[in-house]
Amino acid sequence: MINQNSYQAVMARKNEIMKKAVGIDYSLYETGKISFDYEKLMRDNGYPLSGIEAIQKAHGVGSTPLKELHNITALARHYCPKGFGARIFIKDEALNDSGSFKARRASVAVYRAKTLGYKGVIAATSGNYGAAVASQAAKYGLKCIVIQECYDSHQVGQPEIIEKARACEAYGAEVIQLSVGPELFYTFLRLLEETGYFNASLYTPFGIAGIETLGSELVQDCLVQTKKLPNMVVCTNAGGGNLSGTARGIKKATDKAITIVGASVNLKGLHMASDHDFNRKSFTTGHTGFGMPFMTNPDRSDVPRSAARPLRYIDRYVTVTQGEVFFMTETLVALEGIERGPAGNTSLAAAFSLAQSLPASQIIVVQETEYTGAGKHHQAQLAFAKQNGIKVDFGNPQDEIPGTSIILPSHPGLIKAQEVDLNQIRQSLVKNSVKNEQFITEVDLDFLCQETNQDYPWLKNELKKLGIGVIK
């Protein structure tokens, strides 16, 4: 007898489970051998910007303040030539109900669940999104289950993840905590099937559309406060939805060019699904362990086609070290009197460095902040790192080795965002997309141009290297 609940059996029917759990027939959008109609998916399953604004305004989300960091800007100018050092602003998303920009995604996802008649929502996340979904579910009177990848095989959990579990439970969610490994997605599918609840995925069209208001707001806020558009917006990048949604909102607010920069913590060498590495990292999101694989293979997410497609929008991608982010977290408190959590300070650390290469007349916006708490606090994370044998010291942060050391900069001038070659990432996306093909169609060719934000000659050259032909 076949066990219908075996790992293989559940995985075999994952598309059927997902279709019921999100209310989207993704097959309607498939257009070629590897391509799908991304914009049609967004149009059919999203909401107009004005509609999202109304949903969010009614449920404690959005209209967060844009704050100029006068003292941090002055510090950045101390380390660059005269006439340089752009003005640094932050969009203070920690003031959303639930304490992060994830409330924007959750607000639309949970509204969708309520509208479609689901009795509850489920989110598979160890981060702020779980708290955001739980908070919004409480407002709509829906049940909520949050599944966390929380522990290693020794049942040791990271303080940041445990803090987020506390927040989820405070908002009324049932929290299911698992050890690192493939059982997370399996358990997620089983629960979706058994409960009939809505999949409040981070990667649905309505989840990404919820962030578009953030991009639109920061443009309008900047115009009101400075009479100018921002020249650069820095987004902490993990699964790509934060950057994608923000960029889409910016494009809806202005047709002027604004440089979109993704920033991630450099965790090179650590594997996110490794039991050994799980507690040797000090960041649970906003790092290259998510940023790189999701950028080169967006559809690795928990829906058939992810609406987070960062390579379509990103202009530059930079990394910062764990030590640099912890240092900037403390700097934000000491100089600006603002205590915020680690993920948003990833983009702040990058912005501090990038601002030094921009004229003083320009504006750089750090696109989000998040709340902090006992386990999310940088001191708790540093203490946990020491307990796991990580050396914590002051020096040059570029000497940091993820999983071995955390090097806090001995002075702010050592904070240097490192440029990542986007061309190599684009090449990896193309390779991943065509790996099972010998030929693709012209529709696929157009799709890959959009995916990589490159022209036909560049793409055809890459396909030629891979020995992939194009048929009409």
- Across the chain, which has 472 residues, the per-10-residue mean pLDDT values are 77 87 93 96 92 96 98 98 98 96 96 96 90 97 95 88 92 93 86 95 93 98 98 96 98 97 95 85 89 94 93 98 97 97 93 98 97 89 93 97 97 98 97 93 96 96 93 82
Residue 198 φ/ψ, nearest 5 degrees: -80, 140
* Domain contains 377: yes
Same domain, 308 and 437: no
- Could you give the maximum distance between any two Cα atoms of the chain, in Å? 76
Euclidean distance between CA atoms 90 and 92, whole angstroms: 6
CA distance 114 to 23: 12
Q: Is 213 in the same domain as 330?
A: yes
How many structural domains does the chain have? 2
Residue 143 lies in a domain: no
262 belongs to a structural domain: yes
Both 414 and 436 in a single domain? Answer: no
User: Are 319 and 429 in the same domain?
Assistant: no
DSSP for 244-304, written as a single string:
HHHHHHHHHH-SS--EEEEEEE--TT--TT-TTTGGG-S-SSSBHHHHHHHHH-GGGSSSS
Query: Global pTM?
Result: 0.96
Which pLDDT does position 2 carry in this prediction? 55
Query: How distant, in Å, are the alpha carbons of 414, 426, 461 from that of 320?
Result: 11, 21, 32
Question: Are both 400 and 439 inside the same structural domain?
Answer: no
* Pair 411, 434 in one domain: no
Judge if 415 and 429 occupy the same domain: no
Q: Which amino acid makes up residue 424?
A: Q
386 and 463 in a common domain: no
* 152/148 Cα distance (integer angstroms): 12
Position 88 scores a pLDDT of 98
Question: Tokens in use for 270?
Answer: 């650590």
Nearest by Cα to 5 from 253, 164, 186, 204: 186
Residue at 114 is within a domain: no
Asked if 356 and 447 sit in the same domain, the reply is: no
Query: For residue 197, is it within any domain?
Result: no
Determine the Cα–Cα distance for residues 286 and 101; give it in Å rounded to an integer: 13
Looking at the fold, whether 390 and 402 belong to one and the same domain comes out as yes
Q: Judge whether 352 lies within some domain.
A: yes
What is the C-alpha separation between 172 and 138, in angstroms, rounded? 7
Distance CA 238, CA 241 (A): 8
CATH number at residue 279: 3.40.50.1100
Residue 36 lies in a domain: no
Place of tokens 């509609």: 51
Range of the domain at 327: 61-97+206-420
Domain-located, residue 89 = yes
> Of 420, 444, 463, which one is at a domain's C-terminal end?
420
Residues 6+ apart with CB under 8 A from 292: 264, 425
363 and 267 share a domain? Answer: yes
Same domain, 375 and 233: yes
Q: What is the pLDDT of residue 3?
A: 66
Contact 88, 68 (CB under 8 A): yes
Helix, strand or coil, per DSSP, at residue 209: helix
CB 232 within 8 Å of CB 316: no
